Structure 1
C-alpha cells in the first residue's frame, strides 16, 4: 500500500500520491487569500492511467467539491467514498503546506547582540561626551557619509526616536540622482539590524499580515515611496495612530464564515525617499522633510570620494568600526519619558504653513535630542504618578531649532524646494547681468533646465506673483520681469528674529539643573519634595 504524500519540489507543479489516485496540482496554489483554495487538478487512477480527469475549482466551496467527487468518480471508475477520502486528505495537506510555506517566508527575528564590557564602556563614554551632538556628527561623517552634515545628523536623531512612544518620521526629497536613497541607506547602516526593516515594494495588504508586535519600535526604511504606493494609507495610520487594524472574513474548519480582525501595533519610525513631494503631501505632513544638497560643491565631494574609493585610499575598516560604535550607542539607549518645561515659550513664525503639525514636529524633535542625551540628564520622579522622566534644557531647544532651521524655512515658503532653487538661481543670474527681465529660452539653456520643468516653474512663479509678463506672445516667446527680489531674505530674517526672541526668553527664566547619576547611567532616581516649575 502506497503511503499518501504531497510532493512539493516544484511549487508550480505539486503532486499528491494516494493509494489509487495520482493528483497533480497544476500551477500550484496561491499563498494569499486564506479564505479560498483555488486549484486546477489533474487526476489519474493508477489502475487505468489512460483516463485523465481535469478540473478547476475552489476546494473550500462545498458544491464545487461535491461535483468534483461525483464527476471524477464516474470518469475514473473509482468509488465516491475513496475519492471523498482522498480529496479531504489533499485539502489538509495543502493547508499544511501553505501554512508552512508562509511561516518560512517570515523574516526571522534578529537576535539582540549583547555588548562586551569594552563595547559598553566605549558607548557609555561616547554618550557622556560634553558636546555629544558634535561628536555624533563627526562620527557620522567618519562612517563614510560625504557632505550632508546637517541632514545626516537630523536623520540619525529621527531614527533614534524609534525607541520612543512618539517617534518621528522622515522624508528625503530631491531630484533623481541627488543622493536621497544613498543618504537614507548610509544613515540606516548606523542603526542595529534588529531594529530596522528595509522595504523595496509592498503589496496592498502587506502591513496587516505582520505579527501584532513585529513592527513595534522598528525603523522602516522605504527605498522609494513610488514602490509603496499601495500601502500609503496604512502607512499614514501607523504614523498617526501608531496602530492599524483590518477586519476580514475567513472560513473555519467546518466551512462556516467568521469575522477576524488583524491588528498590528506600533509605534514605528518611517523613512522614505521620493522626488514627488506634492504627490505624497499627506505623508509629508507627518514627516520632517530633508532636501538634498545638489550643489556643484557636493558633486565634487562625492566624485572625489568615489575616486579615492576606487584608488583604495579610503580606510573602509575604520568606517565599519565607526558604524559599529554608533550601533552600540543605539543599543545602550533605554526607554525613558521626556518632558519639556519650556514648551510654552516656543512659537512659530506666522508664515509657517500647517503650524499645528510643524509645532508638534519641533517639540518631538527637541524631545528626541533630550532623549539622546539621557546619560547627561537628571532622572526625576513625578510625585503624583511615580513616573520617571528627564527634562529638556535650553541647549536642547537651541540645537533643535538650529538643525531644523532649513526645514522651518521650507515650511514657511509657499514655493516648493525645486521652484525656490530655480528662482534663487534666476535672481542671482539677473543680478550678475544687471537686468530685471529675461526670456525663458535664454534662462533654460544657461541654467540647464528641461523645457517641461522651465514651463512648470514659470507658471508657478507667475501664478503667485513673483514674476510677470511684460511683453511678447505665445509664438515669439514671453519676456518676464521679477517682482519680488528679497522675499527669501525677509522670510529668513523674520524667522531668525523669532527664534532669537524665544531663546532669549527661555534663557532669562530658567537655569540648568544639576546632573546626578551613577557611573552606569540612568539608574539613580532623584526625588524632590515638590514639583519644580518654570516661572517667569
Structure 2
C-alpha cells in the first residue's frame, strides 16, 4: 500500500487486518531475514502477514532480506538447509520447511519498489486529495463530538464468523474459463506472467466467497462464474494498469496535471520549483516525479550535478489514471 506520509496507509492495513480472526493474522512491524523460517511449524499456513512500514533502503541487502517473503508468496512454502553443530559430533545439515500459503501486506512511501517484490504484489495507493482529507476530518469530528464509533464491533464480528465458516467449509475452486481468459490476456509484457495468476487468484477468492451461489463439479469443486471475473476485473483495474498498461498511480497522475497547470505543456522544471507550488510533502513530490519518469511520462533533461538540481521536461498532455482497463472485457472471455 503506497502513499505519502500521513495519508492513512497503516490505518487502512490495520483495519483490514481487524476483519480477520486473530488466529488468522500474524502482525509483525519488522521482519528479519530468517524470521519466517524459525517460527513454529505451521505458523504461516493460511495466515495474513501484516508487516509495518517498508524500509526506505532499496539495495542488495534489502533484497536478500525479503527473499523469504518472495519465496513464500510465489511457491506457498519455505525451505532452507541449515548446518547445525551437535555437541561432541560433526555438524549436521537439517532441512527447515515452513508451509504456507500466506497473504502479505505492507505500507511504504516509496513509489518505486524493488522489482522482484513489486511484481509479486498488487500495488494500491492511498487517496491524498483534499476532498478525502475533508471526509476524514469530518468523520473524526463527528466521532469526537458524539463518542459514537458506529457498529464497527458488529461488522468485525460478522467478518470473523464468515471467515471461520469458510475455513470449516473449505473446498477447491476451479476456473472453467481460465484457458479462454489466458488466450485473451495481454501477452505483450513479460509482467503478464505474474499478473495472470493475480487475476485468477482474485477470481477464485470471489468464487469461494460466493460458494453458496456457485455450481459444483462432480468432485465437489466450486466453479467460478462470469460474475467472479467481472468483480476481479473491476477490483484489479488500477493495479493491472500499472503492471500491464504502463500506467501510474492516481496521485502521480493528479500531480502531473498540476505540473502542467503550473509550468505548461512540454515545459522544463525542477523538483525544487515544483515544491514552491505543491502542498504535499517533499517525499511525495520526489516519489511522484520518480514514478512519472519510470513510466516515460516525464523526461530527464539534465541529471543533477553537485548543487545543480536535475531538470525534467513535461509531456504535451496529462494522463488519465482511470484509463481503459487492460484486462480482457467480459464479453470477449465469455463470447
Range of TM-score over shorter length: 0.7 to 0.9
How far the C-alpha of 1:415 sits from its partner, in A, is: 6.0
Aligned length: 320
- In the alignment, does 2:76 pair up with 1:242? yes
Residue 412 of structure 1 and its aligned partner are, at CA, apart by 3.4
Equivalent residue for 1:337?
172
Q: Distance in 2 between matches of 1:453 and 1:186?
A: 23
TM-score (norm 2): 0.81
Q: 2:144 aligns with which of 297, 310, 333?
A: 310
Aligned 8 A contact 2:111 2:290 in 1: no
Distance 1:389 1:477 in 2: 59
- 2:134 equivalent to 1:300: yes
Report the alpha carbon displacement of residue 255 of structure 1 after superposing the two structures with TM: 4.2
Query: Cα distance 1:442–1:325, how it changes in 2: closer, same or farther (>3 A)?
Result: same
**Of Structure 1 and Structure 2, which has the larger fraction of its residues in strand?**
1
- CA 1:373 to 1:248, structure 2 compared with 1: closer, same or farther past 3 Å? same
Aligned to 1:278: 112
Does 1:269 find its partner at 2:98? Answer: no
Instruction: Give secondary structure in 2 for the equivalent of 1:206.
Output: coil
Q: Which residue of 1 aligns with 2:212?
A: 375
- Give 1:444 shift: 3.1
* Cα offset, 1:231, TM superposition: 3.8
* 2:25 and 2:49 in contact (8 A); partners too: yes
2:323 corresponding residue in structure 1: 492
- Structure 1 residues 377 and 279, CA, compared in 2 at 3 Å: closer, same or farther? closer
Q: Alpha-carbon deviation of 1:452?
A: 7.6
Instruction: Measure how far apart 1:487 and its partner are.
Output: 4.9
| 1: CA distance, partners of 2:236 / 2:310 | 39
Q: Deviations over 1:254-278 (max 9, x none)?
A: 4443222222111112122222253
Q: TM-score, normalised by structure 1?
A: 0.53
Output the CA distance in 1 between the equivalents of 2:216 and 2:187: 36
TM superposition shift of 1:239:
1.0
CA distance in 2, matches of 1:458, 1:444: 11
CA drift of 1:328 comes to 0.4
Quote how far apart the aligned CAs of 1:315 are.
3.5
For residues 154-193 of structure 1, the aligned pairs below 5 Å read: 172-193=1-22
* Higher CA-based Rg: 1
1:204 corresponds, among 22, 26, 33, to: 33
Separation in 1, partners of 2:308, 2:84: 66
Does structure 1 residue 398 correspond to structure 2 residue 225?
no
* Alignment RMSD: 3.5
> Which ranges in structure 2 are unaligned for 5 or more consecutive residues?
none
Q: Mark the runs of 5 or more structure 1 residues left unpaired by the alignment.
A: 1-171, 382-386, 509-536
Q: 2:93 aligns with which of 230, 237, 259?
A: 259
Write out per-residue CA displacement over residues 446-494 of structure 1, whole angstroms, 9 at most, x where no aligned residue. Answer: 223667875776677578364586xxxx9999997643426547x924x
Q: 1:454 to 1:186 in 2, by over 3 A?
A: closer
Give the deviation of 1:252 after TM superposition: 3.4
1:436 Cα offset (Å): 6.0
1:322 to 141, 155, 161: 155
Distance 1:226 1:450, change over 3 A: closer
Cα deviation digits, residues 416-456 of structure 1 (max 9, x gap): 536444213323x26xx987646546543222366787577
On the 8 A contact 1:238/1:266 being kept in 2, the answer is yes
Q: Residues 61-86 of structure 1, C-alpha deviation per residue, up to 9 Å, x if partnerless?
A: xxxxxxxxxxxxxxxxxxxxxxxxxx
Q: Deviations over 1:321-375 (max 9, x none)?
A: 1110111011111321111112223234466561111111111111111111112
Q: Provide the C-alpha distance between the structure 2 equivalents of 1:258 and 1:480, rounded to a whole number of angstroms.
A: 58
